[in-house]
Amino acid sequence: MHRKNTTLGEFIIENQSSFQYSSGELSKLINAIRLAAKVVNHEVNKAGLVDIIGAAGDTNIQGEDQQKLDVLANEKFIQTLINREIVCGIASEEEDDFISINSSDNQHQNKYIVLIDPLDGSSNIDVNVSVGTIFSIYRRVTPIGTPVSLEDFLQPGRAQIAAGYIVYGTSTMLVYTTGDGVNGFTLNPALGTFYLSHPNMEFPETGKIYSVNEGNYVHFPQGVKDYIKYCQKEEGDRPYTSRYIGSLVSDFHRNMIKGGIYLYPKSSVAAEGKLRLLYECNPMAFIAEQAKGKASNGFGPILDIKPTELHMRVPFFCGSKKMVEKAEEFMQAVK
């Protein structure tokens, strides 16, 4: 049992044996993410005071308006990871293509790639609603000593060796897994230190919250419409409560603590769904499964999907195991 006052750094050292690869490398990687998170947290918290909110006047590869803070978060995470000389490649939601990294003295010797959504839910920033960062870590599959290729990034989610998210809310938390359970750390802003606050996080087996953008109801597949009607029906432990923030990190985090399901299905206006497989769905699915939850595209596990492109989108059903299984039943009934 871990002490509640354990720092993130201490926790990594104490749990080195549960990580099947080099513990020193993992420590460097998580520390780089921790450092960038603290910088981004500082910027998020002062966003209302300085001219950093609002659109940057550009769009990203997804065709979405980039927010000023999106751009800053992207730069901070990429630069911090490059400076630590631990990763050989980075893919970001904000970049058209992956970034190959080679420090002058190591000739492509690094083994890890990171996929990142630097600022998830960024359209909520200027209304002071929680936003977050999502990250996913893999070992490269191409030979060490060569530049990374697209193949390194198009690995199924089951190959992840670590994943996590940072939620910048009323308190700032870093939640991550290395395939041995899920632990959450809360930032003490006075000391700039993350402390273990939520050890061994787990989804309740079922819950009473469903999180979906019901404004898109008319565009949803029939199976999703039927499941939403089921959630609203006065029967048994229902109706469920509808809670939708519109920031994946925040919705996921709340549902993991309280019990619930998050749905972002495909629709007649988003044929493949909206969320990106590689740096949103896969890391969240890995965390969910490690926390005794479930993540599905409506018909099978997210982590088994073979990616075909860097910015691939998929439908996403994630949360308490029994709730996801019930949603799958409705999807498969009208397949």
Counted residue by residue, the chain has a size of 335
93 a known binding residue?
yes
274 a known binding residue?
yes
Reduce the DSSP state of residue 293 to 3 states and report it.
strand
Return the structure tokens found at 249.
């990190």
176 a known binding residue?
no
Reduce the DSSP state of residue 198 to 3 states and report it.
strand
> Taking a C-beta distance cutoff of 8 angstroms, is the pair 303, 257 a contact?
no
Please compute, for residue 329, the number of CA atoms within 13 A of its CA located in the half-sphere on the CB side: 9
List, as one string, the DSSP characters of 45-105. Answer: HTTTTTTT-SEEEEE-TTSPEEEHHHHHHHHHHHHHHHHTT-EEEEEETTSSS-EE---TT
The C-alpha atoms of residue 279 and residue 290 are separated, in whole angstroms, by: 17
65 a known binding residue?
no
234 a known binding residue?
no
Return the structure tokens found at 271.
């044929």
* Nearest of 245, 169, 177 to residue 11 by alpha carbon: 177
280 a known binding residue?
yes
123 a known binding residue?
yes
> Taking a C-beta distance cutoff of 8 angstroms, is the pair 89, 148 a contact?
yes
State phi, psi for 149 to the nearest 5 degrees: -130, 175
Return the structure tokens found at 258.
């309280």
121 a known binding residue?
yes
Angle between helices 248-258 and 282-290 (to 10 degrees): 10
- Give the list of residues 6+ apart from residue 71 with CB closer than 8 angstroms, or none: 56, 58, 94
Q: Is 230 exposed, middle or buried (0-12, 13-18, 19+ CB in 10 A)?
A: middle
223 a known binding residue?
no
264 a known binding residue?
yes
Annotated binding site for substrate: 120-123, 213, 244, 262-264, 274
Annotated binding site: 93, 117, 119-123, 213, 244, 262-264, 274, 280
Annotated binding site for Mg(2+): 93, 117, 119-120, 280
